[in-house]
Structure formats: structure tokens, C-alpha cells
Structure 1
Amino acid sequence: MLVCFYVLLLLHITEGCRLEGNREIKPITAYTGGSVLLPCSCTDLHTKPDTFTWRKYTNDWVEISPESEQYKDRFQLVNDHSSGNLSLLISHLTEEDGGHYKCSLKESEYRDFRLTVKGCTLNQQTVTVTGYVGQSVLLPCSCSELQAKPHTFRWIFFKGSDPKEIFPKDQTNHYTDRVQLFNDHLPGNLSLLISHLTVEDGGWYRCKTSNTIDANVQLIIKDAPTRPSTSTPMIQTNSKQVVRDKTNPDPTEKDPIDIGIIISSGVVGVLLLLLLFGGVMYWKRRGQRGGQTEIGDGQTGQRTQQQDFTEPLNITVTSEPTYEAVHTQNDPEVLYAAINTQTKHKKAEEKDDVMYSTVVHSNTVSAAHTPVASGDTTVYASIKTN
């Protein structure tokens, strides 16, 4: 077993590094001003090739050396602490960096890359922009590829026939601390923001890159629009003018609409109180009357239940004594009452036409009309009981 292990190890050392994607052609697209990684590595990252080279085709294959002056600070190997990682990183790309690259170990082990670098091509345009004195304005300018950043660019202001650069250098000293780029983190956005505009800022501007296409912008400056003041509206009457400042109201002054609402609320409250008081008085009087009626009915019922034939019967009679015989005296169901017409009776003094009598119940067949001596005059009345 030990012999087999050593044999396999020897074969692995002899084989060395085998490239990942051997003899493939990989297309890669990048943008000017950015970076790109050309990946190249051994299938086993722990193996280290004896020799390897990066070359670029420019009429012929030219070896790339990161130590050379041409590629210094822009080309570097990225091994990521792995001996088998042979990738190449190119920074600050330019359009000239595009082309055909090759990572090779020997004639039979290599990998090709076709790198395309897109540069900044301005959108050719002529735009008219209006700005106002004291405010800010944005002069638009952008690359067709917003990820592409031009190697160099500048803004030029034409004062008459004399062009002057205002960004990145201010040759006029008129735009110092008033201009800045507004790219919104997009390298291809080259728009220029001008603050604190003056009348002298009006004119023609040009966004210029290294290529032959430019973007022209015409800036028109106008006076700042005046906004109508709404802080002092005027109310005019026949006698005088009243100026009311809504921004600084007088705390002692009340709005007529509020006063009207307060008065209306007070009147409604008084009316509700009056209605409530009247309802309480009505229900109180009604309750008293109902109580008197119930008391009267109760007293009447008690009198009716407690009335006995032996109690005096109040009967109203005329001043002259009369005798009324409804039935014969021999009727057993007839009672005879003796009515005293004496006007000097104790109860008759209170009411002249009320007389008092005594009713005697008799179950006998014989006539029960024996008069009761209660005064000078005796009147007989017959009463039938059922």
C-alpha cells in the first residue's frame, strides 16, 4: 500500500498544473475607467506551475509584465494566496486595453480571452435650459454607456467668441465654489450643477470629452418670479379699510364666525334647559293629580266596602216633606227610611239641601215603616234591596 501511495504522488508531481478551461476562448466586456479580472487557474489550486505567461496580441503576441513601465500600477496578478491562481487584474481601463489576451503554461496548455472595453460616447445634443437669478440649474451631459467613464472631460463656457474652461478648472474665477458634478454615482453622468445664478451666467456651454462628439447647452437666465404675498389680505368697507394679518393674529381679537357660533350655542342651551324644566314640572303635576285620584278612589272604595245599612244615609230631598211609595208596604224586599228634614241638624248647617236619615233593614213581611223620631217632621222613603 505504501508503495502505491508513493507512485501516485510521483505521478501527480510529474503531471503538475492543468489549466481550468484549457484552450477555451472567453469573451469579457468592461467599461473605461473601471476594472476587469481575467480568470486563469489550475484545476488544483494547490499546485504551482513551473512557468506561465500572460500575453496580448498587438500585431504580434507581446508578453505582459506587471513590472514594466507600460503596465505598472494597472496590471497585477491576483493569486489570492493560492499558488494555482494565475488571474490577471487590469485597473483604470481605457479603450486601448481591449483586445485578445492569452494565459499559457506551455504550447499545449493555454486559455484565451477576448476583452471588449466600451468607452464614453456623448449623446450628441443641443439643449436649451432656463434658470432664474439666485437659484440653481443643471446642465445635462451623459455618455451613451452610463457605466463608462471618460478618461478626461471638461466644461467650457463661451463668452462671446472666447471659450473658457469652468470645470474641472475655473479659468474665469467666476464659477469658483458654484459648480459641481451631479453624477448620482453613475460614472457616465457628466451633468454640471451651477448654483447662485447671476445674469452673467447666461450663454452657451459645451461638454467635451476626448472624442470628437460634444454636447452643447444654451442657458437662459431670467429674473426670479415674485410670489404673491398672502400674509396681509385687505378687507375693504364703506367707512374704512381693515387689514388683518393672519400670520400674527391678535389674541384679543375674536373671529365674528366664532362669536356667532358661541351665541347660537348659548341660545340652544337655554332653550334645552327651558324644555327640560317644563317637562319636569309637567310630570310632577301629573304625578300629584294621579296620586290624588288614587287616594280618592281608595277612600271611595273603603266607604263602599265599609258602608252598612245601619249607618246614616245621606239623601237630598226638597224642603217640603214628601212620601213616596214605590211598592206596597207589605213587600218584604222594600226598606223604609225615615228622613229628618230638620234644617237645624248639625250637618245641615254646612249644606242646606243635604239631610240625614236612618235606614233600618227588615226581613219581615210586615211593613217596616216605623218612623224614627229625629225631629219635628218625618219623611218616609222606600228602598228596595236585591
Structure 2
Amino acid sequence: MKVFFLLLLIQLHITEGCRKLEGNTDVRQITAYPGDSVLLSCSCTDLHTKPQSFTWSKYSSPSEWINISLDREPYKYRYQLVNEQSSGNLSLLISNLTVEDGGDYRCNLTESEYRQIRLTVHVCTRNQQTVSVTGYMGKSVLLPCFLSEPSHTLRWLFSKECDYKEIFPKNQIKGYTDRVQQFNDHSGNISLLISDLTVKDGGYYMCEIRNSSNTTIHLTVKGALTGSSASTPVITTSLPTSTADTTTIFICTAVALMLLLLLGGVMYWKSRGQRRRQIENGDEQPGMRIQQNEQEDVMYMTVDHSNTVRAEQTPVASEDTAVYSLVQTH
């Protein structure tokens, strides 16, 4: 009986759902930097309960709160809920922060039950000539940089909270080992290739060259390619065929040709021997007819031998064909 009432209470608790949010009603302050990721925390007082409905909204003047739609721009790919593990966790994750992401946000359970968060995105002093590059999670992206004159001192930097740290050739930030590769084709192209992109790779990069102006690149990392985004080109690299492989292919081809020529020669000599034997056998047996030789265009007629008549063959010219006739001598 006690078990029955306990199950009933649990069922009523779950049915009631989430009606109150964790924390006080004061506005919470969060500070972040461009390119970072930030979590706007919001959860039910009981994480095991599930709200009937909830929304996230952002303040937009004049005095208007606009609901955030996760399947539309500019929120698509960069805004996502993190309630997969717990239905009572309503937190919102924002990736690859921009200055425009700053502002006031609300996690709305009801009209009277909500939590408000103020997000401030600090702006760093950067090069005015900033190149924007877009990449996709799990793919590769190329950060362009070119030399105007030869230089032996160059490096790539990545900005974390307005503090640039070197990622190539030295790696001062974890996570870039074996994922970065610099082009060096002796034509001034020193672009940086980053593989296996993650959300944390989004931010500002600097191609720093001695005695030259630096290049600043802003990388935005979006979600995996889907739908129309699948047509976006992805950078891939391939290794050229080695000299050893080319030599092997050439030798194999030459051997194959020689075998074909040898086989053809054997078949030719075999066929020619058979033809020669047929001709010889035909000359030794009287009365046997020899077929017309189409290649030499010569016609032969049968010669019968007897004891009283001797046959002599006298050729008679007829255009391009030689005809042999019978001449009897007495």
C-alpha cells in the first residue's frame, strides 16, 4: 500500500512539471570576448521535471523582447539548447560570439517566471583590415596569408580574451597539436590549414610577419554541413605520386607490351607454318585442288599427268591476275 501511494506521489510530481526556475530574480552579468563560447544558465528547481513549454528571448529596442528561433538566422548553428541530458536544464549555449550577440536575454517559463541575463561582449583593438572566413565542424579551413617579400620570421597567433598566443610554429594553446599545417610553396603563400574544426576554434587569428603589416582573420565555425550548405567547398589535400610508383607503372606497362608482341609473333609463325605445310601436301598428291591465294592473287588450275600426254604450264597475262593454262604436246 505504501508503495502504491509513493508511486502516485511521484506520478503527480512529474505531471505537475517544472513551475519554478533556479536562482533569484536579479539580472546576472556575463562577460565574454569575440570568438568565445558562453553558456546562459537556466534550469528548473528540480532537474527531473519537464516544463510544458519555455522560450528564450532577447531584448530589442524599443522595449521589445524577440523570441529566439534556433532554426533560423542569425541563431542557426551558433545557438543551441543543452537539455539533452536533463529535461529540467534549459540553458542556452552561444558559440563564436560576435559583438552583436551582446545584450539582455530571458529564459521564460511563464510571463511571471523567468530569469534574465545580461551578456557583455568586449571588443579588442584589432587590425582594421580583417578577413572573415567561415568553416564547419569536423572539416578543414584555410586561413589566407601571403608574403610581399622574403621573411624568415613569421608566426600564427590566436586570440583568447584579447590575449594573442602563438599556435604555429610553437603551440602555446592546447588542442592545436597535429591539426595545423602551414603552406610554404616558395611563392609567398604562408596560409594556415586547420583540420578537424571545433567550436572552440572560432575567434581571431593573426599572421604576424617581421617588418611587415600583420593580417587579422576572423574565423566563424558553424555546425555540420546539411542541406544547401553541403555545396560549400571543403579544402582537401592529397599527396603527389612518388617517382618510385611512376617507375613501377612504366616497367609493368613495357613488360605487358612485350608479352603481347611475343604472343602475336608466335601465332603468326604458327599460322604461316600451317599454310606452308598445306601447300606442300597439295603439290605432292596428284589430282588435289589448291585453293585460290587471295593475298598473291594467283589462280592455279589442276594438271593431270598421263603416260602419253605431257603437260606444260604457260602463263598468260590477264591484267593483274596470272592465269595458268594447259598446253598439250605430242
Q: TM-score of the superposition, structure 1-length normalised?
A: 0.36
Q: TM-score of the superposition, structure 2-length normalised?
A: 0.42
Choose 1 or 2 for highest CA Rg. 1
Query: RCO (CA 8 Å, sep 6+): is it higher in 1 or 2?
Result: 2
